[in-house]
Amino acid sequence: MQNIINVIASVNDRVNGIVWGVPAIVLILGCGILYTIITKFFQVRRINFVFSKTIGSITKNSDVVKSSDDKVISQLQALFTTLAGTIGTGNIAGVATALVVGGPGAVFWMWVSAFFGMMTHFGEVVLGIYYRRKNSDGSFSGGAMYYLKYGVGSKKNLEKIGPILGSLFALFTLIATFGIGNMTQVNSIADALNTNFNISQLLTGIIIAFFVGIIVIGGITRIASVTEKLVPFMAVFYIFFTVSIFILNYRQIPYVFTSIFSNAFNPKAIAGGAGGYILMRAIQMGFKRGIFSNEAGLGSSVMAHCASNAKEPVEQGLWGIFEVFFDTIIVCTLTAFVVLSSTITVPSLNTALRDISTTSPQIVSILEEDGNELHEIPLLDSDYNFMRIKPSLNGKVAIHTSTEGLENSTPITINGRIYYIETLSEDKASDSDFIYANVISIKANEAIDANNNIILDDAGNPVIESLSVNQINGASLVSLAFKTRFGDAAGNILAIAVILFAFSTVLGWAYYGATSMEYLLGPKSGIFYKIVYTFVTIIGATMNLSLAWALSDTFNGLMAIPNLVGLLILAPVAVKITKNYFERQSGKDVKPMQSFQFDNV
């Protein structure tokens, strides 16, 4: 059985490397560039119009805020539902990881991906509204699968290709919802509650399942009624604390912006001539984080937009532009600014190695300053750092009682005794050994017998088995930034943010999965999916499902392939719909292009 799992994992890694590799990212970005060019930089030329028709219309148009038809949701509710799906733990942990791997320059490339992603998402939503179908009960069904089936499928020689692409998209979405939208998010909630409030993960799973079941079984209108309250609250909550930290760190503001722009274009050359690789890594991590976060090009959030009461495809498309702007330019950027502006006072690695604790991990600098004093350093540098100590995949470093057989070594002291660990020389390091984070955690591990008792040597001293060396990365890095300003309460503050972000994602993706299921198997299949989805939350809270998560991540990426094909084929249609809208806005008497279903009746 284990062999089968290993084979599946190996195949998945290869497929994942393709669907989330450089060619795929270039394709997604290229689609955004195409839509930007053919709309003549719409997101720049019409920026005032975008904001006036979205958040600027909230107090002017009641239909934007509340739908008069109980079978559909308002445009604002559609926005909150999509933001519920896109604003997840990736906005916290994912951004921090992108910074550690890609450096401050990743932020710039994240902005670039969002700039072009706005138009990709605009095109998705415009096509989604235009090709959606009105059901007999007055509700709408829509999403990428519908413009693939009815849009691509209406083109000459593509009559069979369109429906196949639509079914593939729905299938990939259906599978992805259980991992990306459900289990990974619920596991983050359970872990946060267990770590910070000592609440059982099983109890957390049961409670979440109860609330998820009540909400998602009620359909899109009930999901929207929750997200329209939850999303503004969690956004204000997170923005308040992140902006507060950035203001308190005002002395670091020049460094933040300087490091972002200098690192984006001019990374320091490193051993082995890998400077070009480091630059590519900054670009790749920035683009991936932007794409992962706002989902422009994946086609997922189009489904929620299609459930709105919007009559004009372009007007709902404007909300798609704002969605990408808020998710990436606002929320992700604030996370990045918090990490980049925060400093911490810790001992250097050389100092820490002279007295390593066996009780709890110690956070230390990986910079090579010496001396016994503490050092105030940025959490993240504008230049890469070299990891001299390289742990194995499980984060463990072997310790030795002598230097025999060690090409490069460093002495360490544990409980007053001297040991040795093998170190890397910079000329033999691989690209992955260069990171931008300045801090790691270290801890000595005592040997434990089968009865969970500490093993003692002949002198009665604990036997030291290994050294745990871990990068401070992801949510842990953001938590450390919060802790520098909010002390011990930081963990609770960030835990609340993680819980809110993750729970909202569970709700948003529940709708995407149900819509995909109904597209594939008919309207009655939706309730079955919702019941299964609800119970899966308990599994996600209590089990280690790394393979399941990896598989769902791959299927999440596979969603983009049929969707991008459709966007490229239907780009002229999206431009025609946009042109038609603005012609009518200027007073021209032309036939409206609002619905493929009814325009062609």
At 430-445, the pLDDT tens digits run: 656 666 777 778 888 8
Among 39-43, 409-413, 572-576, the least confident range: 409-413
Rg (alpha carbons) of the chain, rounded to whole number: 26
Q: Is the pLDDT of residue 406 over 60?
A: yes
pLDDT at 368: 60
**Predicted local distance difference test score (pLDDT) of residue 369:** 55
- Residue identified by tokens 């400093």 is 343
At 165, is the pLDDT very low, low, confident or very high (cuts 50, 70, 90)? Answer: very high
DSSP state of 389: S
CB atoms within 10 A of CB 466: 19
Q: Would you say residue 1 has pLDDT above 60?
A: no
**Phi, psi of 489, deg, nearest 5:** -75, -10
- DSSP letter at 154 equals G
pLDDT tens by residue, 495-535: 888 888 888 888 889 999 999 999 999 988 989 999 999 99
Per-residue pLDDT tens over the stretch 459-478? 777 877 877 777 777 777 88
Give the residue carrying structure tokens 């007055």: 138
Q: How many CB atoms lie within 10 A of CB 160?
A: 9
Other Cβ atoms closer than 10 A to 543: 13
275-294 helix and 253-265 helix, angle to the nearest 10 degrees:
110
Tokens 């979405």 -> residue: 173
| Residue 175 in this model has a pLDDT that exceeds 80 | yes
3-state secondary structure of 117: helix
The Cα angle at residue 542 between residues 540 and 545, in degrees rounded to 5: 55
Q: Report pTM.
A: 0.85
Q: How many Cα atoms within 13 Å fall on the side-chain side of residue 476?
A: 13
Give the residue among 356, 339, 338, 335 at the shortest CA–CA distance from 347.
356
Q: Which stretch of 75-84, 206-215, 467-476, 548-557 has the lowest confidence by average pLDDT?
A: 548-557
- Rounded to an integer, the average pLDDT of 390-414 is 76
Query: Between helices 571-585 and 560-569, what is the axis angle to 10°?
Result: 60
Sequence length of the chain is 601
Query: 272 pLDDT band (50/70/90 cuts)?
Result: very low
Six-digit token string for 578: 């946009």
Choose between 77 and 549: higher pLDDT: 77
Look up residue 145 and give its two tokens.
């699968």
**Mean pLDDT within 262-277:** 54
State the pairing for strand pair 380-386/439-446.
Answer: unpaired
Residue that has been written with the tokens 């204000």 in this structure: 236
Whole-angstrom distance, CA of residue 442 vs CA of residue 196: 21
HEC per residue, 8-45: HHHHHHHHHHHHCCHHHHHHHHHHHHHHHHHCCCHHHH
Following DSSP, what letter does each residue of 519-538 receive, concatenated?
Answer: HHH-TTHHHHHHHHHHHHHH
Sequence-ordered list of residues with C-beta below 8 angstroms from that of 318, at least 6 positions apart, any chain: 49, 50, 53, 54, 122
Residue written as token pair 């933001």: 83
Mean pLDDT for all residues in the chain: 82
Is residue 343's pLDDT more than 70? yes
pLDDT (mean) for 166-175 = 93
Contact 202, 542 (CB under 8 A): yes
Residue 455: pLDDT band with limits 50, 70, 90: confident
Sequence spans of domains, the chain: 2-342+490-599, 346-378+380-471
Residues contacting 440, CB < 8 A, separation 6+: 349, 363, 364, 366, 387, 469, 470, 471, 472
Helix, coil or strand: residue 407: coil
Instruction: State residue 408 phi and psi, 5-degree precision.
Output: -130, 135
Q: What is the pLDDT of residue 367?
A: 67
Residue 375, pLDDT above cutoff 60: yes
Q: How many Cα atoms sit within 13 Å of 596 on the Cβ side?
A: 23
In this structure, the number of other CB atoms found within 10 A of the CB of residue 589 comes to 6
- The Cα 85–Cα 301 span in angstroms is 7
Closest CA to 544 of 14, 7, 180, 184: 184
**Helix or strand holding residue 490 (H, E):** helix 490-521
The 3-class secondary structure across 272-335, one letter per residue, is HHCHHHHHHHHHHHHHHHHHHHHCCCCCCCHHHHCCECCCCHHHHHHHHHHHHHHHHHHHHHHH
- Cβ neighbors of 11 (< 8 A, separation 6 or more) are none
Tokens of 552: 């769902």
Query: pLDDT for 530-587, tens place per residue?
Result: 999 999 898 888 776 566 667 767 877 888 889 999 999 999 999 999 999 999 998 8
17 has pLDDT over 50 = yes
DSSP code of residue 367: S
| β-sheet bridge partners, residue 442 | 362, 469
pLDDT confidence of residue 371: 53
Place of tokens 């100092």: 351
